[in-house]
Amino acid sequence: MAYFQSKPAAGRHFLQIPGPTNVPDRVLRAMDNPTMDHRGPDFGRMGKALLDKVRAVFKTEGPVVIYPASGTGAWEAALANTLSPGDRVLMCETGWFAHLWHEMATRLQLQPDYIRTDWRRGADVAAIEAKLREDKGHEIKAVCVVHNETSTGCASRIDEVRRAMDAAGHPALLLVDTISSLGSIDYRHDEWGVDVTVAGSQKGLMLPPGLSFNAVSEKALKASETARMPRSFWDWKPMLAANATGYFPYTPATNLLYALDTAVDMLLEEGLDNVFARHDRHAEATRRAVRHWGFETQCADPRHHSSSLTAVRLPEGHSANALRATILEKFNMSLGNGLGQLNDRVFRIGHLGDFGDLQLVGTLGGVEMGLKAAGIPFQPGGVLAAMDYLNGNA
């Protein structure tokens, strides 16, 4: 079966969208093992060890629930397990993904308060604090923030959100979407007092799509005892009961769990701090190329630059989608499209996951050649600027 029809035969496809990301060969090989009996003794052994090990990536001592679902499922799980219909929640419109989570909350009959931004920065921490201070009756039950807004390349400061909630003395739960930051950008579930961390497999964790996660605090577990939102598939209770012995209440995605086991090993072998530093360095090199070309990043606040992707604004009158099509056609590289109001305005370079210096230079080389081929005015030499930075000569 030919899964790709339009690509040249030779050379490797560059999958530089900000998720799904390139899956390392070692992870692909782990998946290529026989599916085991998920009620048999070997599974429990593996499941228990894996559920224990994966907590290190979230920096939590608490339980991590794993669903056979995309990240959207874990969004729903976070809301459905902790809240009741009619509850007020505070959400921050950082971009397209925050927008989708907000829509979901509305459909689940929650009442979101929505703090707007211009999609060029992270969550407005001062506005969160002000809203919580106003809410003297503590009607707001949860604050929901997207850590890394994949549509804009802006990362919110979760440590500051926590401090703002504490400063306001407000007891709301803190729910954080780390689908495109976990395993790429520094994140600390316990230290930052996050109640539910939502994650997915196909971005920083370097797996194919198909798994998603909730890391759960004690406070969130307690809230789940009285939360009245109807839930069944997403219910933490039977999940945690089965997980205690390494099993799942329904069939898990067994071969993706092999992959997760290997991917977590790889992250821990490299060392999480080294993983984060590698992403920071590639992001900075990318921004230097973008600046050199003469373009702006969509993120306008240097304190909020994402280390997993860069969204690049093209000059007015030039089509980002046409540029991406040219690059795919000529150089066999996929770049991320602009989402929602950013459609055709920006393109997104994913530099997360299984990624090294030469992949970055190749990626930026493809963009620079594509700019020329698409007839977009730019200053040549962005790749050199990135290489200088990578060499420590910047």
Ligand X SMILES: *Cc1c(COP(=O)(O)O)cnc(C)c1O
Q: Could you list the residues known to form a binding site for substrate, using ranges.
A: 348
Query: Which of 224, 236, 234 lies closest to 142, judged by CA?
Result: 224
96 near ligand X, rule: CB under 6 A: no
Paired tokens of 27 = 């992870």
**Of 234 and 389, which has the nearer Cβ to ligand X?**
234
229 binds ligand X (CB under 6 A): no
Our finding on whether 200 is near ligand X (CB under 6 A) is yes
* Pair type for strands 346-350 and 309-313: antiparallel
Tell which residue, 208, 241, 224, 204, has the closest CA to residue 351. Answer: 204
The neighbour count for residue 240, using CB atoms within 10 Å, is 16
- Which is nearer to ligand X, 151 or 326 (by Cβ)? 151
DSSP assignment of 278-344 equals: HHHHHHHHHHHHHHHHT-EES---GGGB-SSEEEEEPPTT--HHHHHHHHHHHH-EEEBPP-GGGTT
Q: Specify which residues 199 forms β-bridges with.
A: 213
**What are the structure tokens assigned to 25, written together?**
């060969």
Q: Which of 32, 41, 74, 54 is nearest to 247 (CA)?
A: 41
Pair 286, 360: CB distance under 8 Å: yes
Q: Please tell me whether residue 306 binds ligand X under the rule CB under 6 A.
A: no
Q: Is 220 helix (H, G, I), strand (E, B) or coil?
A: helix
As measured in angstroms, the least distance from the Cβ of 73 to ligand X is 7
Distance from C-alpha of 4 to C-alpha of 2, rounded to nearest angstrom: 5
**Based on CB atoms, which residue is closest to ligand X, 81 or 178?**
178
Distance in Å, CB of 20 to ligand X, minimum: 9
Q: Which of 145/221 has CB closer to ligand X?
A: 145
H helix count then E strand count, the chain: 14, 14
368 binding ligand X? (CB under 6 A): no
DSSP letter, residue 55: H
Taking the alpha carbons at both ends of the chain, their separation in whole angstroms is: 47
DSSP letter at 22 equals: P
Binding residues: 348
**CB closer to ligand X, 200 vs 246:** 200
For ligand X, which residue of 177, 220, 234, 350 counts as binding (CB under 6 A)? 177
* 206 scored as a contact of ligand X (CB under 6 A): no
By residue count, the chain amounts to 394
Q: Which is nearer to ligand X, 72 or 84 (CB)?
A: 72
Find the binding residues for ligand X in span 3-62 (CB under 6 A). Answer: 19
Q: How far is the CB of 200 from ligand X (least distance, A)?
A: 4
Q: How far is the CB of 179 from ligand X (least distance, A)?
A: 4
Residue nearest ligand X (C-beta atom):
71
Regarding 286 and contact with ligand X (CB under 6 A), the answer is no
Candidates 146, 158, 227, 383: give the one binding ligand X (CB under 6 A). Answer: 146
Cβ pair 132, 140 in contact under 8 A: yes
**Which range of residues in 32-40, 77-85, 175-183, 359-367 is near ligand X by CB under 6 A?**
175-183
Q: How far is the CB of 36 from ligand X (least distance, A)?
A: 25
Please identify which residue in 16, 22, 150, 297 interacts with ligand X, judged by CB under 6 A.
150
Total residues at interface with ligand X (CB under 6 A): 12
Using CB under 6 A, which residues numbered 178 to 197 contact ligand X? 179-180
Structure tokens at 367: 């963009």
**Residues 65-94: x where in contact with ligand X by CB under 6 A, - otherwise, as a string:** -----xxx----------------------
Q: How far is the CB of 137 from ligand X (least distance, A)?
A: 31
Q: Which residues bind ligand X (CB under 6 A)?
A: 19, 70-72, 97, 146, 150, 177, 179-180, 200, 209
